[in-house]
């Protein structure tokens, strides 16, 4: 399928309707189909087999305009002119930006009021609100990637394509006896992160916002300094263990 649209270059939002559009088979040197643009400036050719084609545009009283060469293959996306991109799911303007959200842990995301299921096309420069919704027994940790934040609901401006990761973590219920007071400083940190615990810890694990391990050590004294100069700026999660349980999980930010 080939679908596209024509826009008046002097008034971009004014579609050009009732233009004759030809689909030209380059290999066989022949026109195989023709159609007219509709009131929205759209045209389409269905059932186009793989191959090399040219899109030729004609207006009554004018010669053929410069052709646009395209290659139709078995992928879902084809470009037919500078204004629009073609997908099997519909007509997507080139000025559309794609919002992709990856979920780590147990939870979901809403884009506006709609549950996120797959990459979402958003008009360029449009603002959208994304909200992290943890499942029962879980908590929202952070956004990372093209959005770095620890706020569950954020409004972003789609200036470019964005890929954002949301991280959820399971809540561990501890008894008062198991709970241990832990302090992390400075916050934000730069080259070093200090961890101070009221008791000796069995393990400290630091991950980035998408769950990749950055630091892992066992048999930790009540105070430890973690070198962080090689880490990139962003959000990190410090997991502290005692008696094979996570006794504290804290978010920290590196500048």
CATH (domain of 81): 2.60.40.1120
Domain presence at residue 177: no
Q: Are residues 153 and 192 in the same domain?
A: no
Bridge partners, residue 111, by sequence: 114, 130
Q: Are residues 21 and 68 in the same domain?
A: yes
pTM of the complete model: 0.43
What is the domain extent for residue 216?
A: 182-254
Picking from 170, 196, 231, the residue at the C-terminal end of a domain is 170
Domain presence at residue 203: yes
Q: Are residues 232 and 243 in the same domain?
A: yes
- For residue range 148-181, what is the model confidence (pLDDT) as tens digits? 887 889 999 988 889 999 988 775 544 444 456 7
Question: Given this model, what pLDDT does residue 67 score?
Answer: 59
Question: Given this model, what pLDDT does residue 172 score?
Answer: 52
- For residue range 73-121, what is the model confidence (pLDDT) as tens digits? 655 444 444 344 333 433 334 466 788 999 998 999 999 888 998 887 6
- For residue range 7-62, what is the model confidence (pLDDT) as tens digits? 443 333 445 677 778 888 888 888 888 888 777 666 777 777 888 887 777 766 55
Average pLDDT of the residues of the chain? 76
Q: Is the pLDDT of residue 229 over 90?
A: yes
Q: Are residues 85 and 138 in the same domain?
A: no
Picking from 135, 170, 205, the residue at the C-terminal end of a domain is 170
Domain presence at residue 42: yes
Q: Is the pLDDT of residue 197 over 50?
A: yes
Q: What is the CATH number of the domain that holds 238?
A: 2.60.40.3080
Bridge partners, residue 56, by sequence: 22
* CB-based contacts of 132, cutoff 8 Å, min separation 6: 107, 109, 140, 143, 152, 153, 166, 168
- For residue range 203-221, what is the model confidence (pLDDT) as tens digits? 898 988 777 889 999 988 8
Q: Are residues 78 and 101 in the same domain?
A: no
Of 24-33, 126-135, 240-249, give the lowest mean pLDDT range. 240-249
Number of domains observed in the structure of the chain = 3
- The pairing of strands 96-104 and 162-170 is parallel
Q: Is the pLDDT of residue 145 over 70?
A: yes
Find out whether 17 and 41 touch, Cβ atoms under 8 Å.
yes
Tell me how far apart the alpha carbons of residues 137 and 192 are, in angstroms, rounded to a whole number.
32
Tell me how far apart the alpha carbons of residues 18 and 52 are, in angstroms, rounded to a whole number.
25
């Amino acid at each position: 399928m080939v679908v596209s649209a024509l826009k008046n270059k002097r008034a971009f939002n004014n579609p050009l309707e009732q233009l004759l559009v030809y689909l030209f088979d380059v290999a066989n040197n022949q026109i195989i189909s023709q159609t007219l643009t509709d009131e929205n400036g759209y045209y389409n050719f269905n059932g186009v087999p793989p191959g090399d084609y040219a899109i030729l545009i004609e207006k009554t009283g004018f010669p053929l305009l410069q052709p646009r060469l395209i290659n139709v293959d078995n992928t879902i996306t084809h470009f037919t002119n500078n204004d629009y991109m073609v997908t099997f799911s519909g007509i997507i303007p080139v000025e559309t930006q794609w919002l992709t959200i990856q979920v780590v842990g147990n939870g979901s995301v809403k884009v506006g009021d709609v549950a996120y299921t797959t990459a979402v096309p958003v008009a360029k420069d449009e603002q959208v609100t994304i909200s992290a919704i943890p499942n029962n027994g879980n908590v929202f940790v952070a956004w990372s990637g093209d959005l770095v934040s620890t706020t569950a609901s954020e409004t972003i401006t789609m200036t470019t394509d964005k890929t954002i990761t949301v991280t959820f973590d399971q809540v561990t219920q501890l008894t008062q006896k198991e709970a241990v007071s832990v302090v992390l400083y400075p916050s934000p940190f730069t080259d070093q992160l200090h961890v101070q615990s009221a008791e000796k810890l069995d393990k400290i694990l630091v991950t980035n916002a998408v769950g990749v391990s950055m630091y892992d050590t066992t048999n930790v004294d009540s105070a430890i300094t973690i070198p962080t100069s090689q880490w990139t700026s962003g959000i990190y999660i410090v997991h502290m263990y005692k008696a094979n349980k996570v006794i504290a999980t804290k978010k920290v930010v590196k500048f």
